[in-house]
Amino acid sequence: MIQIKNLTKIYQTKKESITALRGVNLEINDGEIFGIMGLSGAGKSSLIRCINRLEEPTEGSIEINGHDIMSLNHDELREMRKKIGMIFQHFNLLSSKTVYENIAFPLNISGVPANEIDKRINELLGMVGLADKKDSYPSQLSGGQKQRVGIARALANRPTLLLSDEATSALDPQTTAQILSLLKEINRRLNLTIIIITHQMDVIREICDRVAVLNSGELVEVGNVVDIFSQPSSQITKKFVGIEDGIPEDIIDYENGRVIRILFIGRSAREPVISRLVKTFDVDANILSGNIQHIHSETIGNLIIGLEGKPDKIEDAIGWLKNQGLKIEVLK
């Protein structure tokens, strides 16, 4: 488990001091895929880089499995880093070394014996599906292949934690999906904790178990991905997941009857609620906007409908909806 307490990071430049993180408290469980999202400059990279001390925290503490990483000296820090893999947006492979040599790098610097290195690299090449590319140079690989090398390299020393800073941001959607499923597979197979920074909502939806939202250096929300995506509480998260407060701009002039927002989660999303409503209460339901998202195996529907008909019928209808285990918000 990773425990981050009151983490503050201030960058001191000649002209000014920039507070990138402000008293962040966070716990990340073993074996989970934890997402961190936030706008550009929110402090995501600073946060993840404090975890392996590529950046020195200004204040606060970070414990990994009960070990305070702030108290480590240089040698201890290097030993700890060998157990924390990291992958990057621009892959950061050694251009002068082959795929094989790139993956060998962390093993070489850890002094692993040559025969073990060879065995380990072949395992890793198999795991990331690049056995046939082992003698290629990075410049001969596609972006997705480069990131696979990056992943193999990060896993070489059998880390317990993998840090990923925008690892799919330079890839096309299809390649992104492949890399994500590789990460998910690794997570399940090795029970590896993965911390993923991204500004791509799809990445969070696709593979994260829990997510934290950062805004201007402050942690504004942490929770299960399904909860955060269905019921975001902060303004910034709502913007991220595409749920706006109040009535969307384009239907503000809707004048007939009442406007309600219905949130479906899980099974309820598959039930014919609207058609039952229409039949039972003799009201017309006018779908004004809506979307359905699939997160892991959950379905989250978000629907804004206009109800037209006799006022008392409408009230009854709204009352009935509330009893269906749906989250209802009357907008107008």
Partner 1 sequence: MNQELIRILNLLIPSLWQTIYMVLLSTVFSLILGLPLGVLLVITEKGGIWEKPAFNNILGAVINILRSFPFLILMIVIFPLSRLVVGTTIGTTATIVPLSIAATPFVARVIESSLKEVDWGVIEASLSMGATPFQIITRVLIPESLPSLILGITLTIINIIGYSAMAGAIGGGGLGDLAIRYGYQRYDTPVLIATVIVLILIVQIVQITGSYLAKKVDRR
Ligand X SMILES: Nc1ncnc2c1ncn2[C@@H]1O[C@H](COP(=O)(O)OP(=O)(O)OP(=O)(O)O)[C@@H](O)[C@H]1O
The beta strands (E) that lie in 29-130 are given as 33-38, 59-64, 67-68, 84-88
Q: Out of ligand X, partner 1, Mg ion, none, which partner does residue 210 contact, by CB within 5 to 8 A per kind?
A: none
Residue 82 or residue 313: which is nearer to partner 1 going by CB? 82
Residue 139 makes contact with partner 1 by CB under 8 A: yes
- In sequence order, the 6+-apart residues with CB closer than 8 A to the CB of 315 are none
Strands of 193-197's sheet, edge to edge? 84-88, 161-165, 193-197, 33-38, 210-215, 218-224
Residue 240 or residue 281: which is nearer to ligand X going by CB? 240
Pairing assessment for the beta strands 33-38 and 193-197 based on DSSP bridges: parallel
Q: Out of ligand X, partner 1, Mg ion, none, which partner does residue 112 contact, by CB within 5 to 8 A per kind?
A: none
Residue 109 makes contact with partner 1 by CB under 8 A: yes
CA dist., res. 311 & res. 185, Å (int): 53
Residue 45 or residue 230: which is nearer to Mg ion going by CB? 45
Residue 110 makes contact with partner 1 by CB under 8 A: yes
Residue 134 makes contact with partner 1 by CB under 8 A: no
Stretch that binds Mg ion, among 16-24, 43-51, 128-136, 278-286 (CB under 5 A): 43-51
Residue 105 or residue 320: which is nearer to partner 1 going by CB? 105
Q: Out of partner 1, ligand X, Mg ion, none, which partner does residue 88 contact, by CB within 5 to 8 A per kind?
A: partner 1
Residues 59-98 that bind partner 1 (CB under 8 A): 77-82, 84, 86, 88, 90, 92-97
Residue 123 or residue 135: which is nearer to partner 1 going by CB? 135
| Minimal distance, residue 326 CB to ligand X, in Å | 35
Q: Out of Mg ion, ligand X, partner 1, none, which partner does residue 171 contact, by CB within 5 to 8 A per kind?
A: none
In total, the chain counts a number of residues equal to 332
Strands of 327-330's sheet, edge to edge? 284-295, 298-308, 258-265, 327-330
The beta strands (E) that lie in the chain are given as 2-12, 17-28, 33-38, 59-64, 67-68, 84-88, 161-165, 193-197, 210-215, 218-224, 258-265, 284-295, 298-308, 327-330
| Minimal distance, residue 166 CB to ligand X, in Å | 7
Helix (H, G, I), strand (E, B) or coil at 329: strand
| Beta carbons of 105 and 97 less than 8 angstroms apart | yes
Helix (H, G, I), strand (E, B) or coil at 193: strand
Category of 246 on φ-ψ map: left (φ > 0), alpha (ψ -120 to 50) or beta: left
- In sequence order, the 6+-apart residues with CB closer than 8 A to the CB of 263 are 230, 231, 300, 301, 302, 303, 326, 327, 328, 329
Among 24, 45, 162, 217, binds Mg ion (CB under 5 A): 45
Binding site for ligand X (CB under 6 A): 11, 13, 18, 20, 38, 40-46, 199
Burial 82-97 (b: 16+ CB within 10 A, else e): eebbbbbbebebeeee
Residue 12 makes contact with partner 1 by CB under 8 A: no
Q: Out of Mg ion, partner 1, ligand X, none, which partner does residue 105 contact, by CB within 5 to 8 A per kind?
A: partner 1
Residue 139 or residue 174: which is nearer to partner 1 going by CB? 139
Q: What mask of x and - would describe binding to partner 1 in positions 153 to 192, judged by CB under 8 A? A: x---x-----x-----------------------------
Residue 81 or residue 258: which is nearer to partner 1 going by CB? 81
Contacting residues toward partner 1, per CB under 8 A? 52, 54, 77-82, 84, 86, 88, 90, 92-97, 105-106, 108-110, 137-139, 153, 157, 163
